[in-house]
Amino acid sequence: MHIGNQIKMKMKEKKKSVVWLANELGYSRINIYKIFDKRSIDSNILLRISTILDFDFFSLYTEELEQKKQHCDQEV
């Protein structure tokens, strides 16, 4: 999973701009674009983004973990 892409997609879904998220986080637009490029992200930042966008991005990791567990169980 690429968390930066997930954040970017959720912003588009909610029709929010880079400028808006930058203002909400107190970041520059450049830093938001850097977040979009990240495959992983600091959990505190992800928590803030989850709150701002009203979406539990941590649940995406939980789903991925469950899929990997199922895949491992099928191999055994």
**CA dihedral sign of residues 30, 32, 38, 44:** positive
Q: Which of 20, 60, 69 is nearest to 39 (CA)?
A: 60
- Its domain, for residue 9, covers 3-75
| pTM (2 d.p.) | 0.84
Structure tokens that stand for 68 in this block: 């990997």
Cα–Cα nearest to 62, from 54, 52, 70, 51: 70
pLDDT digits (tens, 9 = 90+) for 6-57: 999 999 999 999 999 999 999 999 999 999 999 999 999 999 999 999 999 9
The gap between the terminal CA atoms of the chain, to the nearest Å, is 24
The residue ranking higher by pLDDT, 74 or 36, is 36
The CATH number assigned to the domain holding 32 equals 1.10.260.40
Number of domains in the chain: 1
Distance CA 11, CA 53 (A): 7
